[in-house]
Structures are given as structure tokens and as C-alpha cells.
Structure 1
């Protein structure tokens, strides 16, 4: 069956078809942009989850270091009633050993290959440096008697 339409109606239908094609193209582009944004957000989420896992692991290590440090300090307190400070040697930000003096800690590190000139002074209230460029650090801690 054929339908006869006027030229005016045909022109109007063609104009509407062109408009519809343009809207479809814009919609396809919007969908592609939304997909790209979704993929970018998924990658960001995966990266953030990975960073969270690393930070949690570091937090657990820090807690373990604090427990080990407390245990070592308790041992030093019991063994040395006349001392009021102990030198704690850190290697790459991790607890390495305890010593009677800064010089003894530096000597122990040098015995394990630390350069004689690669030392960092850490104030008593600051955390030890954890950057990869600081291999060794010594920090003095005050020792209090057992109560």
C-alpha cells in the first residue's frame, strides 16, 4: 500500500530525520564519554584500594615495631638501672638494634656496611626518617625505671 504525501510534509519528515540522526550521534558520543569516565573511575578505585592495602600493611608493621621497641626498652630498663638514655638504631626507618650510646650504634651500623658519613640526626620527639635515601639513623630514647 502506498501513501501519498505532500512535498511540504516530505520536507518536514526529512528535517525531522536529520534532527533525529544528530541527536542519536550526540547520544552515542555521550554514552562513549560516560563509558570512558566509568573506566577511569574504576582504575582510580583500583589504585586507591591498592594504596589502602599498602597503608594497612605499613600500619601493622608500625604496630609490630612499637611492640618490639617496648619489649627492648623494657629489657634495657631491667638491665641498666643507672642509665637514663638508650640509642636506638634504625635501618631504612625500621628498628634495627639498641645500644648504650650513639657512637656504639653508629659503629654497629658501620660494621654492617653503613658509610661513616651517612648519618642523620633525629630529634628526640620526631619519628625516624623512612625515606629510601636515609639508610641509617640513630635516635636517643629516655629510659625510665620499671614501676
Structure 2
């Protein structure tokens, strides 16, 4: 069967077909653009996830470095405090030693004035405490520091002395010489 079409209708159909071809080409271009945009978005999303993982790793690395630096700082502070304490103790010991020397000189002068050649040295746990002209003076000084009044015993001549650190208070006679 044949159909007769007018030229205006034919022209209109040809124009519609041209528009349809143009719309199809535009649709294909838009589809291609959308596919490329989707691929680009997926690539960017992958890059973003990788950048986040890298940033998290960097952050954890920085956190570990910070923890290590804080630990080193705390250790350095502890060492500094220990050194300060040692210096303070050394200063105190130097002052005590100086005071001990002064006290010894005074006691030695006193003992020399009395024409005696013996003094009694008081030790507390093996460390020098004071020097006295008499045993009674040394015992009284120890008792003033908290030693029990009835805890004094005599040491047998020639017997070995117990270690000084084991004896809380000890009075030991010391002979003076004028050299």
C-alpha cells in the first residue's frame, strides 16, 4: 500500500527527524558526560577515602610522637627533680659537716681547758651526732633526741663492736692528742 504525503508534511517529518537526531545526539552526549562525571566522582571518592586513611595514619603517628615526647619530658623532669634533691641533700650535708667541725673545735677547746685528753663522741645510727666532755653529757644529749633513758649498756674492752648502723645511739670515747 502506498501512501501519498504532501511536501509540507514530508518537510515537517524531515525536520522532526533532524530534531530527533539532534536530541538523540544531545542525549548521547549528556549520557557520556554523566558516565564520565560518575567515573570522576567515584575516582574522587576513592582518593578522598585514601586521603582520609593517610591523614588518620599521620595523626596516629603524630599522637605517638607526642606521647613519646611527653614521656621523655616527664623523665627529664624526674631526673631534674632527683638532681635538685641530691644537690639540696649535699648542701645540707656540707652545712652539717661545717657545723660538726665547729662543734668539734669548741668541744676540743673545752676539753683542753679542762686538762683532759679524752672526749666522748655520740653517734646516731653510725653517723656523727655530737662530742661531749663526759659520758653523762653524751647520754643526756641522746636522751634529749629521744633515746631511752634505760637503754645504755657498757661495752666490754677488747670485744668487737657491732656494726654502727645497727646501733641506734652509741657513745664512744676518743683520746685526744696534741699533734
Q: 2:122 aligns with which of 89, 103, 126?
A: 89
User: Hey, what's the Cα distance between the residues in 2 that align with 1:6 and 1:118?
Assistant: 98
Retained in 2: the 8 A contact 1:86–1:98? yes
Higher relative contact order by CA 8 Å / sep ≥ 6: 1 or 2?
A: 1
Q: 2:176 aligns with which of 134, 143, 146?
A: 143
Q: Deviations over 1:90-140 (max 9, x none)?
A: 46745344134x46744x35774632225697x99x9x75x9x82x32122
SS at structure 2 position matched to 1:86: strand
The reply on whether 1:54 has 2:65 as its aligned counterpart is no
Q: How far does residue 141 in structure 1 lie from its aligned partner after superposition?
A: 1.8
The answer for the alignment partner of 2:47 in structure 1 is 13
**How many residues are aligned here?**
133
RMSD: 3.9
User: Hey, what's the Cα distance between the residues in 2 that align with 1:21 and 1:103?
Assistant: 78
User: Hey, what's the Cα distance between the residues in 1 that align with 2:48 and 2:109?
Assistant: 89
Retained in 1: the 8 A contact 2:121–2:130? yes
SS at structure 2 position matched to 1:80: coil
Q: Which runs of 5+ in 1 are unaligned?
A: none
SS at structure 2 position matched to 1:19: helix
1:113-132 matches, cutoff 5 A: 114-115=147-148, 116-117=150-151
The answer for the alignment partner of 2:62 in structure 1 is 27
Pick which of 23-32 and 88-97 moved more.
88-97
Q: Which runs of 5+ in 2 are unaligned?
A: 1-36
SS at structure 2 position matched to 1:138: strand
> When you count helix as a share of all residues, which structure comes out higher?
2
What TM-score, normalized to structure 2? Answer: 0.53
What TM-score, normalized to structure 1? Answer: 0.61
